[in-house]
Amino acid sequence: MGCDYNPEQWPERVWAQDVVLMREAGITFATVGVFAWALLEPEQGRFEFGWLDRAMDLLAEGGIAVNLATATASPPPWLSRRYPQTLPVDREGRTLWPGGRQAWCPSSPVFRERAMSLVEAMATRYAEHPALAMWHVSNELGCHNGRCYCDVSAAAFQTWLRARYGDLDTLNEVWATSFWSQRYGDWAQILPPRLAPTHPNPTQSLDFARFSSDALLEYYLAERDLLRRITPDVPVTTNFMTLAHFSMLDYWRFAPEQDVISTDHYLVHIDQPTENAVRSELAFSGDLTRSLAGGGPWFLMEHSTSAVNWQPVNRAKAPGELLRTSLGHVARGADAVGYFQWRAGRAGAEKFHSGLVPHAGTDTKVWREVVQLGGILRRSTDLAGTRVHSQVGLLFDWPSRWACDLDSHPSSLVRAMDAPLALHGALWRQAVTVDPVAPTADLSAYRLLVVPTLYLVEDAAAATLHEYVAAGGHVVITYFSGIVDQNDHIRLGGYPGAFRDLLGIRTEEFFPLDSGQVVTVQPAASGPGTEAAWTRSTWTGSLWTELTHLDGATAVARYVDGPLPGQPALTRHAHGRGVAWYLGTALDDAALSTVLGRVCRDAGVQPVASVPAGVEVVRRSGDGRSFLFVLNHTPEPVRVEAHGHDLVTDTPVTGAVRIAAGGCAIIREGLVSTGSGGAGQG
Ligand SMILES: [Zn+2]
C-alpha cells in the first residue's frame, strides 16, 4: 500500500512524523516529486536537490520504497516565460497559460530538451539511492494537454502523416478530400482540426487523435530510454488513466512499453444514473487495466480515500466504502494500491481532495479505515502473482472509440463507451468476469466475445472474429459496430459491413430514437435461441433501432412499436461451428441481463459463484492458491457459500460467510476450485 507524498508542500518538521504514521498505516511505498520541477530546478540548469535528498533518506530509513517521479509533469514558470512556444494551444486557438498544471505542448522540442535535462539530473542523482524502487515518468500523460493545436504540433502532425501515407495522393484518398474542396497540394497546407466553420473532416480528426496519442507515446519513450541508460535495473512506469471518461491515449500501444502497468482510478459520479453504474465502471476499469498488463498483476497508483475536488459535487465515501473500493481493484488483479495523497493539502486547487491523513487528523473514519486496509493487505501478501481467469472477452479499441465519438453521425446520443459499459455491467451483475481485449488479440482462450459498438473495424480484426466464430466461438455484436474501415470510410453493401456474413443479416437503414424515446421489444415464443420464460416478459429498447433483413439468421426478438414494428431487434446466426448474435437496440438493463445470461449458458460460460443481486464476486488463483473476493454493495447483510479463511476479518470460514451491509471478504479458499467458478481456463 502506498501514496503520493509531497513533502515539499509541508514544513520539514512534520516529515519525521509522516514516516512514523506511514509505518502505522502499513504504507510500503511513496510516489515522490510528481510536481516538484520548479523547486528542483529553480532556474535553468541550477538544481536544488537538498530537500529531496533529505526526504528520500528519511523514507529509506523508514523502510518505505520510493516510486520517484521524473518531475516533468508540470514545467516551472521560468520555462514558459523564456520559451513561450512550449505552451499548448486548444482547438479554438487559445493559449493554455501557466498557473494550473501540465502547460506544455507534447510535440515541443524545446520542452523535450529541458525535460530530458531534468530527467538526466534526477536519474544521475538518485541512481544509487537505497529508497529508489521505480521511476514514475511525468504524470497522467495527456490529462490536460492530450491534444495540442499549435503551429509546432501542426508541423509534427505533417511529419507523422508523411510517415503514415508516404505521398499526398494517398492522404487525399484516405481523407476523401474531394469532398468540400479540401484537396491538399502541399504537406504544409495540412493543419490540426482547428475550429472550423462547420464539421471538420472526420478522417483528419481521427488521424489527429492517433497522432496526438503517438506524440505522448514518443515523449514517454524518450524519458524511459534515458532512464534505462542511466539506471538499467530500475523499472519504469507512467500512470495511465483507465477511467471510462478518459480517452486521449491508445493504451494498447503504450502497454508493451511499460515495465509495470500502473493506473489511476477515481469514482466518477458525473452523468452516472445509479451507484451501481459507478461501481461497475470501477470493475470495467480494473478489468481493462489487467488486460493491458497481459492478464498479469498491475499497480493501482492513485485512487482516493474519500471525496475528490474536481466534480460538481464531490461525494464523500460512506463508511466501509474505502475498503470496498480498494479491494475492488485488488480483486481484479492489482497487486499494489496507492492513494493520492498522503496528507490532504492545506492550500492549492486540490486542498479539498481527500488524503490518507485528513485535515481533521488521525481521529477520523478515513484514517481508521486506512489502517484497517493496511492490516488486511499485510495479511494478504500471498495474493501477489495470482490471476483472474475470464471466459469472456470484450473487444475494445481506442481508434474505434475516437471515430465513434466524432460528429455528423446518425445520432449524437450514441457514445462509444455506452455499450461497452452496459454489456460489461450486465455480465458484472451476473458474476461473470470479463477481459477487455484488443480486436487483433488472440481470442482463442474465450468461450464468448462481446463486441459493443465497435464502430471502426480493420479488415484483420474482422477476419479474426470470423475465424473465431467459425471455429466454435460465440459472439454478441451490438448496434453501430463494423460500420467503417480504419479510414472511417463506410463498408458498403448494407450494415454492419464488417460482420454481415458472420451475423447472417443485412441492415438497410438506421432509425435512431430521440432522447427519452423507448420502444417495446417482444421475444419470440419459440425457435432457436428463444426461451419459454422470455415470452412472459416484455423488453424495452432505447437510443437506436435499424431496419434489418434476415439473411440466414433467426429473429429472436422483434420490435412491437416505434419506427419499425415487426422488424428484428435481436438475431441469432449459426456460423461455422459457432454462434453469432446481433443486438440492434440498447436494451434495458434487466432485458440485457436476461439475454446475456442466455448467451452465457449457450456458450458454456460459468459465473464465479452464485450470489445475491448487488454482490460482486471475483476469483484470483494460481500456483495452488485461490482467493474469492466478495463485495457486498447492498444495504443488507448477505450470506455467501465459502470454505477457507477470511482475510478481512482474519477468521476461518466453514460453509458460508456472512458479510455486513457494504462490507467485503477475501476468502483464501481451502479447496482450490478446478472446474466451474471461472478458474477453469488459462
Ligand atoms: Zn503544440
State how far the Cα of 566 lies from the Cα of 229, in Å rounded to an integer: 66
Note the pLDDT tens digit of each residue in 111-157: 999 999 999 999 999 999 999 999 999 999 999 999 999 999 999 99
Task: Give 150 Cα–ligand 1 centroid separation in angstroms.
Answer: 4
Task: Give 213 Cα–ligand 1 centroid separation in angstroms.
Answer: 13
Residues 648 and 597 placed together within one structural domain of the fold? no
Residues 483 and 354 placed together within one structural domain of the fold? no
Model confidence at 678, in pLDDT bands (50, 70, 90)? Answer: very low
Whether 412 is covered by a domain: the verdict is yes
State how far the Cα of 466 lies from the Cα of 444, in Å rounded to an integer: 12
Whether 588 is covered by a domain: the verdict is yes
State how far the Cα of 26 lies from the Cα of 326, in Å rounded to an integer: 14
pLDDT value for 464: 96
Output the domain CATH number for residue 646.
2.60.40.1180
Task: Give 87 Cα–ligand 1 centroid separation in angstroms.
Answer: 7
Task: Give 210 Cα–ligand 1 centroid separation in angstroms.
Answer: 15
Model confidence at 274, in pLDDT bands (50, 70, 90)? Answer: confident
Residues 458 and 372 placed together within one structural domain of the fold? no
Whether 482 is covered by a domain: the verdict is yes
Model confidence at 682, in pLDDT bands (50, 70, 90)? Answer: very low
Helix (H) or strand (E) holding 18: helix 15-25
What is the average pLDDT value for the chain, to the nearest integer? 96
Task: Give 151 Cα–ligand 1 centroid separation in angstroms.
Answer: 6
Task: Give 148 Cα–ligand 1 centroid separation in angstroms.
Answer: 4
Task: Give 38 Cα–ligand 1 centroid separation in angstroms.
Answer: 21
Q: Any catalytic annotation for residue 24?
A: no
pTM over 0.75: yes
Note the pLDDT tens digit of each residue in 561-619: 999 999 999 999 999 999 999 999 999 999 999 999 999 999 999 999 999 999 999 99
Helix (H) or strand (E) holding 65: strand 65-69
- How many CB atoms neighbour CB 69 within 10 A? 24
Task: Give 93 Cα–ligand 1 centroid separation in angstroms.
Answer: 11
State how far the Cα of 559 lies from the Cα of 546, in Å rounded to an integer: 10
Residues 591 and 621 placed together within one structural domain of the fold? no
Mean pLDDT of 618-639: 97
C-alpha dihedral sign at 25, 27, 33, 34 = negative
Whether 157 is covered by a domain: the verdict is no
CA 339 to chain centre: 17
State how far the Cα of 436 lies from the Cα of 420, in Å rounded to an integer: 9
Does pLDDT of 680 surpass 70?
Answer: no
Of 41, 223, 281, 302, which one is the catalytic site residue? 302
Planar angle of CA 284, 288, 292, nearest 5 degrees = 170
State how far the Cα of 81 lies from the Cα of 27, in Å rounded to an integer: 39
Residues 222 and 300 placed together within one structural domain of the fold? yes
State how far the Cα of 85 lies from the Cα of 222, in Å rounded to an integer: 20
Which residues pair with residue 616 across a beta bridge?
631
Cell of 193: 482540426
Q: Any catalytic annotation for residue 43?
A: no
Cell of 290: 489487467
State how far the Cα of 135 lies from the Cα of 606, in Å rounded to an integer: 40
Whether 175 is covered by a domain: the verdict is no
Nearest to 281 by CA among 267, 300, 261: 267
Model confidence at 534, in pLDDT bands (50, 70, 90)? Answer: confident
Of 140, 223, 369, 546, which one is the catalytic site residue? 140
Residues 641 and 535 placed together within one structural domain of the fold? no
pLDDT value for 527: 84
Residues 593 and 623 placed together within one structural domain of the fold? no
Whether 344 is covered by a domain: the verdict is yes
Does pLDDT of 537 surpass 90?
Answer: no
The residues, ordered by sequence, that sit 6+ positions from 493 with a Cβ below 8 Å of its Cβ are 500, 506
The residues, ordered by sequence, that sit 6+ positions from 335 with a Cβ below 8 Å of its Cβ are 297, 298, 299, 383, 384, 385
Residues 555 and 455 placed together within one structural domain of the fold? yes
CA 558 to chain centre: 34
Percent of the chain with pLDDT over 70: 98
Task: Give 40 Cα–ligand 1 centroid separation in angstroms.
Answer: 25
Note the pLDDT tens digit of each residue in 246-271: 999 999 999 999 999 999 999 999 87
Does pLDDT of 422 surpass 50?
Answer: yes
pLDDT value for 679: 37
Note the pLDDT tens digit of each residue in 40-84: 999 999 999 999 999 999 999 999 999 999 999 999 999 999 999
Residues 561 and 619 placed together within one structural domain of the fold? no
Number of structural domains (the chain) is: 3
pLDDT value for 529: 85
State how far the Cα of 682 lies from the Cα of 678, in Å rounded to an integer: 10
Model confidence at 526, in pLDDT bands (50, 70, 90)? Answer: confident
pLDDT value for 271: 77
Residue-number span of the structural domain to which 505 is assigned = 392-603
Domain end residue (candidates: 574, 603, 632): 603
Note the pLDDT tens digit of each residue in 354-380: 999 999 999 999 999 999 999 999 999
Whether 249 is covered by a domain: the verdict is yes
- How many CB atoms neighbour CB 131 within 10 A? 22
Whether 635 is covered by a domain: the verdict is yes
pLDDT value for 676: 41
Task: Give 330 Cα–ligand 1 centroid separation in angstroms.
Answer: 38
pLDDT value for 200: 96
Task: Give 159 Cα–ligand 1 centroid separation in angstroms.
Answer: 14
Mean pLDDT of 426-450: 96
Maximum CA pair distance of the chain?
78
Cis peptide before 341 (omega within 30 of 0): yes
Domain end residue (candidates: 348, 383, 418): 383
Cell of 504: 447472417
Note the pLDDT tens digit of each residue in 231-242: 999 999 999 999
pLDDT value for 677: 40
Residues 265 and 312 placed together within one structural domain of the fold? yes
Output the domain CATH number for residue 457.
3.40.50.880
Residues 425 and 341 placed together within one structural domain of the fold? no
Model confidence at 671, in pLDDT bands (50, 70, 90)? Answer: low
Domain end residue (candidates: 364, 383, 402): 383
Helix (H) or strand (E) holding 622: strand 615-622
List of E strands, 278-410? 298-302, 334-339, 387-388, 392-395
Spell out the alpha helix ranges (H) of 142-201: 151-165, 168-174
Residues 502 and 645 placed together within one structural domain of the fold? no
Note the pLDDT tens digit of each residue in 84-120: 999 999 999 999 999 999 999 999 999 999 999 999 9
Note the pLDDT tens digit of each residue in 293-343: 999 999 999 999 999 999 999 999 999 999 999 999 999 999 999 999 999
- Asked if 414 and 480 count as a contact pair (C-beta separation under 8 A), the reply is yes
Output the domain CATH number for residue 242.
3.20.20.80
